[in-house]
Chains A and B, each alone.
Chain A
Amino acid sequence: MILKNLMIAASATALMAGAASAETLRWARAGDALTLDPHSQNEGPSHTIRHQMYEPLIIRDVTGAFEPALATEWGPKADDPNVWVFKLREGVKFHDGADFNAEDVVFSFERAKQPNSDMKELIGSITEVRAVDDYTVEIVTDGPNPILPSNLTNLFILDKGWAEANNTVNVQDFEGGEITFATTNANGTGPYVLQSREPDVKTVMVRNDNYWGIDQFPMEVTEIVYTPIQNAATRVAAMLSGEVNFLQDMPVQDIDRVNGADGLMVKQAPQNRVIFFGMNQGADDIEADNVDGKNPLADVRVRQAMSMAINRDAIKQVVMRGQSQPAGMIAPPFVNGWTEAMDGESATNLEKAKELMAEAGYADGFSLRLDCPNDRYINDEGICQAAVGMLGQIGVTVNLDAKPKAQHFPLITDGKTDFYMLGWGVPTYDSEYIFNFLVHGREDDIGTWNGTGYQDDALDTKIKSLASNTDLDARNADIADIWRVVQDEALYIPIHHQVLNWGMADGVGIDVDAEDQPKVKYFTIK
């Protein structure tokens, strides 16, 4: 009886709450921001939360195109290719009422270059940032940098006066456990103002009615309540029961369920992440196979055959429940250098694959260990299991070793795996980023994720020259050439592009963006 009364009371309050908070975005995803300090922790969920409160000079809109934020115009300086000029937006105020000007930009860039900053690698080419006048800033790089703006879309600007007044001129020492005022407080120019925050529990933000773009963007959400929910089933249940009306990190097996529920829908778009296998072709002999004194993966025919054996459509249908886009190259579709033709170079052909294996002298096949993460990418272990069966058809007996990501990735960076799964996102939207990490020969500070052992001096020189080539046509031609080599050498076996799914209740309107970075100012809500 008591329980019944309680339940009636509970449902009554639930109904009232629902009516009163019609413009509240109740938003859930798997993880929380690690800190609010704008320059500590270069990581997805942290940036997502910051983007609501802070702004960079330039942002990407839902299509991935540049959109002016705190800068209104930008371009390389006419007489000096080493300098980019940014015109700043006038009349912008921080949440505490202070005016935004060039001084804040200079301060923020200098702060982002500090040793404790996690953003310093992205702006490593910047040598100086100077204010020309109150609303013009010049950024000097150590050589011509044609893609500088791509590195600035998560580089947030904070108020110099506020930072000085609150002792947060320095980026927090995250690993050392330092907590500064900026870790738990935020004062940006962004569309939402922080109201309260409990890490890993709940973050509440309210609309900034003085936002410069309040008439330019929908800005219909008046309050954001952000709750991380780790367990996938609970996350979906919270959406089905109406406790949240916007959901990221939707489990693929529940998409139909949510789509079929009244008043809910799932929107999707290709994500900025491609999934592929890497093969150690550089070693003379590898440890993970059963062939003595030889490395079967060093033969390009074997690599091509293995790629041909993978049936990407079957993986899409069976493992991913339709939620993937088969890939033929290891670049996401909107990245500069991606072409539809190359992305289609991945047809399954078992006959041809067997012929290539026989030509290479492995008609009877060989065995090999595949290292795979089991908690990093969507259905990662399932993809590997499917690949085991497919490669078995051409005689390659694969032993699957699936582990948590914290154990898997060190294998790649330490060169302890010969056949592995990896996924890659491209924050700069340019192929150079892929080449630097995955194609260039492995050295201390370049090619760090290239576990294939592939190294070609001529190609490395070409990759390095991309950084300072300001002739964009010539640069794009070089990018195409490098991709041709990557494709012909079958350096990697591309599997698919991940698809992003966002769940939303009726009345919440937003398009999925490839970076998985919802910016609430674009949301409509009824």
Chain B
Amino acid sequence: MFAYIVRRMLQSVIVLLVVGLVAFSMFRFVGDPIDNMLGQERTQADIDRLRAELGLDQPFPVQYYKFLKNAVQGNFGVSYRQGRPVSTIIAERAPATLELAFVSGFLAITMGIALGVFTAIRRQGIAANVIMTVSLIGVSLPTFLIGILLIYIFSVELDLLPSFGRGETVMIGNWSTGFLTTSGLKALILPAITLGLYQMTLIMRLVRSEMLEVLRADYVRFARARGLSDRVINFRHALKNTMVPVITITGLQLGSIIAFAIITETVFQWPGVGLLFINAIQFVDIPVMAAYLMLISVMFVSINLIVDLLYYAIDPRLRVDARAT
């Protein structure tokens, strides 16, 4: 068990280092930040001075090494665009993204499971078929289109919900929350639906197909033969057994909700880390891009690590194998 954990952790560290190296080798293809930082009146001397000051005259492995050296001390450098420490900026922006991810994840799981069960049990019903058809839209339309569509309907035409921003926020310590004000809650609705729609339809379809499978299983037939009520069969026996793959997928999707909030945040001008990253790419803000990419890969690697360890805990076969070797 211990050896397994150590091996997985070492693998994770290598993955992180490689992600960083690839990221740094790509940055010079994004463009030259110097041009964005100095006005059109700058001279060659200004350019050379700034390039040396930022260490951009060094080859990228050296830049990467310097970044790592500072990063392990918790220093992610200074944003080229905002002129403030990257760690401060990310800490400022993280609550917005996490709150959005939490709400859309919650929506996706609850609505996804409820609709999945419903469409599996009533698979011949009109409502179930309508839901299935509509869910295709959720899977197939790109996020930015859904976002713009929602803005068009609910902001422009119906004038019910705000089209951009977080509304009023309240500071609780260092955490700015939009949960405590009416405008903050209103502002959450459209982005949360946009971000969660894909995951919702995914979970719904997964639950439905798993459920259909399970409902055909022998033990369900026996349960019916025993005369158990539909409710007990559907929810106690069938649903429970469909949850294993759903939990796996949900865990992995949680990471992508946070990481891929970029598009939703851009469409709704949601002041989170995704929007920060888009700005950073346009401006070639290398410290922000590097910190963001490392943070996201740390997140994915940890989620995967936790999932692996959970399997180890859940699945007795893995443990037996480990003991045998």
Across the interface, which residues of A come within 8 angstroms of B42, CB to CB? Answer: 121, 448
Asked whether A263 is an interface residue with its Cβ less than 8 Å from the other chain, the reply is: no
Within 8 A of A (CB), among B35-62: 35-37, 39-45, 47, 50, 53-54
The one of B31, B41, B276 in contact with A405, judged by C-beta atoms closer than 8 angstroms, is: B31
Q: How far is the CA of A34 from the CA of B82 in the complex (A)?
A: 6
Query: Would A199 and B30 count as touching, CB distance under 8 A?
Result: no
Proximity bits, B270-291, A CB within 8 Å = 1, else 0: 0100011011001110000000
Query: Would A237 and B151 count as touching, CB distance under 8 A?
Result: yes
How large, as a class, is the contact surface on chain B? 35 or more
Query: Would A43 and B39 count as touching, CB distance under 8 A?
Result: yes
Query: Would B41 and A176 count as touching, CB distance under 8 A?
Result: no
Query: Would A42 and B83 count as touching, CB distance under 8 A?
Result: no
Q: A227-B165, A406-B32, A410-B35 are in contact. Are A10 and B267 (CB under 8 A)?
A: no
Please give the number of chain A residues whose Cβ is less than 8 angstroms from any Cβ of chain B in the complex.
58
Across the interface, which residues of B come within 8 angstroms of A410, CB to CB? Answer: 31-32, 34-35
Across the interface, which residues of B come within 8 angstroms of A7, CB to CB? Answer: 160-161
Across the interface, which residues of A come within 8 angstroms of B54, CB to CB? Answer: 175
Query: Would B83 and A35 count as touching, CB distance under 8 A?
Result: yes
Within 8 A of A (CB), among B146-186: 148, 151-152, 155-156, 159-166, 182-183, 185-186
Proximity bits, A436-462, B CB within 8 Å = 1, else 0: 010000001100110000000000000
Q: How far is the CA of A6 from the CA of B29 in the complex (A)?
A: 47
| Minimum CB–CB distance for B153 against chain A, Å | 11
Within 8 A of B (CB), among A210-235: 227-231, 233-235
Query: Would A122 and B41 count as touching, CB distance under 8 A?
Result: yes
| Minimum CB–CB distance for A503 against chain B, Å | 14
Query: Would A13 and B182 count as touching, CB distance under 8 A?
Result: yes
Q: How far is the CA of A404 from the CA of B30 in the complex (A)?
A: 8
Query: Would A9 and B182 count as touching, CB distance under 8 A?
Result: yes
Query: Would A42 and B275 count as touching, CB distance under 8 A?
Result: no
Across the interface, which residues of A come within 8 angstroms of B82, CB to CB? Answer: 34, 199-200
Across the interface, which residues of B come within 8 angstroms of A176, CB to CB? Answer: 53, 78, 83
Across the interface, which residues of A come within 8 angstroms of B37, CB to CB? Answer: 175
| Minimum CB–CB distance for A257 against chain B, Å | 10
Asked whether B269 is an interface residue with its Cβ less than 8 Å from the other chain, the reply is: yes
Within 8 A of B (CB), among A251-276: none
**Could you say which of B29, B30, B37, B83 has the most chain A C-beta atoms within 10 Å of its C-beta?**
B83
Query: Would B85 and A177 count as touching, CB distance under 8 A?
Result: yes
Q: A14-B159, A241-B159 are in contact. Are A175 and B32 (CB under 8 A)?
A: no
Residue of A nearest to B276 (CB): A200
Query: Would A243 and B35 count as touching, CB distance under 8 A?
Result: no
Residue of A nearest to B185 (CB): A6
Q: How far is the CA of A178 from the CA of B78 in the complex (A)?
A: 9
Query: Would A404 and B32 count as touching, CB distance under 8 A?
Result: no
Asked whether A338 is an interface residue with its Cβ less than 8 Å from the other chain, the reply is: no
| Minimum CB–CB distance for A263 against chain B, Å | 12
Query: Would A118 and B39 count as touching, CB distance under 8 A?
Result: yes
Q: List 28 A-B contacts (CB under 8 A).
A: A6-B189, A10-B182, A13-B182, A14-B159, A40-B83, A42-B39, A121-B41, A172-B83, A176-B83, A178-B83, A199-B82, A200-B276, A227-B269, A229-B164, A229-B165, A229-B269, A231-B269, A233-B148, A233-B267, A234-B267, A235-B164, A237-B148, A406-B283, A407-B30, A425-B40, A437-B41, A448-B44, A449-B40
Chain A residues within 8 Å of B, Cβ to Cβ = 6-7, 9-11, 13-14, 34-35, 40, 42-43, 118, 121-122, 172, 174-179, 183, 198-202, 227-231, 233-235, 237-238, 240-243, 375, 403-407, 409-410, 413, 424-425, 437, 444-445, 448-449
